[in-house]
Amino acid sequence: MLILATVIVACSSVKRSQQELNRGNYVEAMNLAVKKLQKDKTKKGNQELIPILEEAYAKNTDDALRKINLLEKTGNPASTGEILMIYTRLDQIQNRIRPLLPLYVGQREARFEMQDYSSKLIEAKEDYAAFLYERAQTMMAANDKLEYRNAHKTLNELQKLSPNYRDAEQLLREAHYYGTDFVFVELKNSTNLIIPNRLEQDLLDFNTYRLDDFWTEYHSIHRRDIDYDFEVVLEFRNILISPERVHEREIRLEREIIDGYTYEIDRQGNYVLDSLGNRKRIDRYVVVKGTLYETTQTKAIAVNGMVDYYDVQNRRKMNSHPLETEFIFEHVFATFKGDDRVLNADERRLLRNRPVPFPSNEQMLFDASSEIKNRLSAILKRNKFR
């Protein structure tokens, strides 16, 4: 069964390779054949793969060289990349087959014409590098933001192909700078409350927002040396702060608890004994009462505003997004009168609390700032400029 399975697998590989060859998929046919021959090129079941590999290699090389010849005749500089790719594949195929040589078809040595493509590869690489460089320069000459980004992509490809090519490194920095959207973010206070400077600085600290990406840079300080592309205005329109409120309530507590035990007695007045001869105990329950005086301190702040997007270059408002948030200060403490056995764990924790001073209006704003930042960050991340 093992021998039969091996024969079936070998026949399957030969059949698949032949099918790919017949379909003109020469590279796939070679890959299948090489993979099997690398394991054991002398194995009897693999011998039928050698003429398939020989034929696929010859036809693939012929097709590739004819395609290169056609591309060269067109004279289109954009074809240099494809020419380089074809020569690279031809060289890679040779390098995979070379370690297997010599291969024999019966008594005849299989023929694989190996060529030195090194000079062709160097020439194709130089031509493609020159094409990429000129293409990037053309894109940058358009003086368009998106074209600068395309130029950056092209220059990156050039750097991978040929590091330190002419002034490509300098052009890469320029393409990144001119392709970047610079966004100025301004905070506008249209309320009747003063927003502390410390809070404003905290809201405009964009390092904590993690908004910057490769093509977008946010600034909270306006720089004269930069022509901003977009502007975001965070306008506070209303800041409503509630009065300090103290709410008291009286909670009457009553619970049945275990308070010791008694001994069970039968109808004749005798003690009931358990299996060990001991008197049987019965829990004694009593009702305990008390009053919990709960005090709740509350103070709330509600902030609402708008986040407006402006296209600075075209001097127009792009869109607006509402921003609303609320923060509530709440503190609960209590006192108690009565039998403290009536208290549960939560009520006992409440008794450990003491009255605290109400936060100032400024502190309430600071407490709300974390949620404001989260809302603003979500708006900025959801609504990109391009």
Can you spell out the DSSP letters for 249-271? EEEEEEEEEEEEEEE-B-TTSPB
| Whole-number Å distance between alpha carbons of 244 and 162 | 70
Tell me the DSSP string of 281-299: EEEEEEEEEEEEEEEEEEE
Q: For the residues 104-126, what does the mean pLDDT come to?
A: 93
Predicted pLDDT of residue 6: 47
**pLDDT tens readout for residues 177-217:** 999 999 999 999 998 888 888 888 888 887 767 777 889 99
Q: How many residues does the chain have?
A: 386
Q: Is the pLDDT confidence value at 8 over 50? A: no
Closest CA to 233 of 313, 317, 326: 317
Predicted pLDDT of residue 377: 86
- For residue 89 the two structure tokens come to 């594949």
Tell me the DSSP string of 5-73: HHHHHHHHHHHHHHHHHHTT-HHHHHHHHHHHHHH-TT-GGGTTHHHHHHHHHHHHHHHHHHHHHHHHH
Predicted pLDDT of residue 67: 96
Lowest mean pLDDT among 6-10, 63-67, 109-113, 257-261: 6-10
Q: Is the pLDDT confidence value at 2 over 60? A: no
| Whole-number Å distance between alpha carbons of 48 and 21 | 13
In this prediction, residue 11 has a pLDDT band, given cuts at 50, 70 and 90, of low
Q: Is the pLDDT confidence value at 5 over 60? A: no
Are 241 and 364 a contacting pair, CB within 8 Å?
yes
| Whole-number Å distance between alpha carbons of 83 and 194 | 67
pTM of the model: 0.71
**pLDDT tens readout for residues 238-288:** 999 999 999 999 999 999 988 888 888 888 888 888 888 888 888 888 899
Q: Is the pLDDT confidence value at 93 over 50? A: yes
DSSP-assigned beta bridge partners for residue 306: 235, 322
Predicted pLDDT of residue 121: 96
Kindly state the percentage of the chain with pLDDT values over 90.
70
Query: Residue 274 CA to chain centroid, in angstroms?
Result: 69
Q: For the residues 138-163, what does the mean pLDDT come to?
A: 96
Q: Is the pLDDT confidence value at 298 over 90? A: yes
| Whole-number Å distance between alpha carbons of 289 and 342 | 6
| DSSP code of residue 102 | S
As a whole number, the mean pLDDT across the chain is: 90
CA atoms within 13 A on the CB side of 107: 0
| DSSP code of residue 324 | E
For residue 282, count CB atoms less than 10 angstroms from its CB and return exposed for 0-12, middle for 13-18, buried for 19 or more: exposed
Query: Residue 139 CA to chain centroid, in angstroms?
Result: 30
Closest CA to 28 of 2, 52, 63, 64: 52
Cβ partners under 8 Å of residue 131, min gap 6:
77, 78, 80, 81
Predicted pLDDT of residue 7: 45
Q: Containing H/E element for 153?
A: helix 145-161
